[in-house]
Amino acid sequence: MHRILIAEDESRIASFVEKGLRAEGMTPTVVGDGRAAFDYAMTGGFDLMVLDIGLPVMDGFSVLRQLRTAGSEMPVIILTARDSTTDTVAGLEGGADDYMAKPFRFEELLARIRLRLREDRSPDSMLLRQGGLTLDLRTHRATVDGRTVELSAREFALAETFMRHPGQVLSREQLLSRVWGYDFDPGSNVVDVYVRYLRRKLGGERFHTVRGVGYRFVGDESDAVEEPVGPAPRAD
């Protein structure tokens, strides 16, 4: 499940792209200013960014320049109303992977996104393995010590997110953004409920609660950290 960061301050365009990408099975997250775009991009939780040049707070060129200076290699497609040759060259030379001018057709944007998301499709590259747990990204199958476990699409996406960040504490806000694609609601317990599902299916010892923060996935002994366990999550 590809995670796409959409940095666009025009709500109509942002909603249009977000809905289109979600319909294609991707997980989009929308931010409306350049500072937020940079901060989200630097979390490492996204596979590609669609970046508007005319963002408030910090423009797209500055976002792109700071990302590349910081060492980020995440693919970036610039989407903007500026269609002059000068701006196109500036964007590409600044580190953008592609450039589209508004107005645009979603089909063309989708094709460019898919092109930039192409990756090594060898069998080993499509498997995530951590301490007896394996996720096959092609078939969406999970195995625990060689035993196949059935996961729903959302459970699989949550497990994948954890396995891509072994030993790292992930907040509920981060998990909601990456797996469900909407902003954090302090009153929602959906993350807690789905972590409980994963504990039942994949092993409770793999998912540690970090009280007041979120969860940590422990793939093997090197990821283990002694920490207090918080209260049990509320059920729906």
Name the nearest CA neighbour of 63 among 22, 7, 121, 144.
Answer: 7
Residue of higher predicted confidence among 207 and 221: 207
Distance of alpha carbon 44 from alpha carbon 56, whole angstroms: 22
* Same-domain check for residues 64 and 130: no
pLDDT at residue 89, rounded to an integer: 66
* Same-domain check for residues 25 and 62: yes
Does residue 137 sit within a domain?
Answer: yes
Least confident residue range of 13-22, 76-85, 91-100, 191-200: 76-85
Q: How many domains does the chain have?
A: 2
For residues 163-171, average pLDDT: 90
Confidence bin at 37 (pLDDT 50/70/90):
very high
Residue of higher predicted confidence among 165 and 49: 49
Residue of higher predicted confidence among 219 and 132: 132
For residues 174-181, average pLDDT: 74
* Same-domain check for residues 81 and 182: no
* Same-domain check for residues 214 and 146: yes
Residue 86: domain span: 3-116
Final residue in a domain of this structure, among 116, 134, 169: 116
Does residue 60 sit within a domain?
Answer: yes
Name the nearest CA neighbour of 117 among 11, 13, 27.
Answer: 27
Distance of alpha carbon 218 from alpha carbon 187, whole angstroms: 27
Does residue 233 sit within a domain?
Answer: no
Question: pLDDT exceeding 70 applies to what percent of the chain?
Answer: 81
Query: What CATH number does residue 167 fall under?
Result: 1.10.10.10
For residues 172-182, average pLDDT: 74
pLDDT at residue 182, rounded to an integer: 52
* Same-domain check for residues 110 and 8: yes
Final residue in a domain of this structure, among 61, 93, 116: 116
Distance of alpha carbon 80 from alpha carbon 3, whole angstroms: 21
* Same-domain check for residues 109 and 94: yes
For residues 222-227, average pLDDT: 43
**pTM summary value:** 0.52
Residue of higher predicted confidence among 45 and 84: 45
Lay out the sheet containing 27-31: strands in order across.
27-31, 3-7, 48-51, 76-80, 98-101
Q: Cβ neighbours of residue 161 under 8 Å, at least 6 residues apart?
A: 45, 170, 175, 178, 179
* Same-domain check for residues 130 and 37: no
Distance of alpha carbon 4 from alpha carbon 21, whole angstroms: 8
Query: What CATH number does residue 20 fall under?
Result: 3.40.50.2300
* Same-domain check for residues 100 and 128: no
Q: Cβ neighbours of residue 32 under 8 Å, at least 6 residues apart?
A: 7, 8, 9, 11, 14, 55, 56
Does residue 229 sit within a domain?
Answer: no
* Same-domain check for residues 128 and 168: yes
Name the nearest CA neighbour of 194 among 155, 233, 142, 234.
Answer: 155
Does residue 57 sit within a domain?
Answer: yes
Question: Is the pLDDT at 98 greater than 60, yes or no?
Answer: yes
* Same-domain check for residues 112 and 127: no
Question: Is the pLDDT at 70 greater than 90, yes or no?
Answer: no
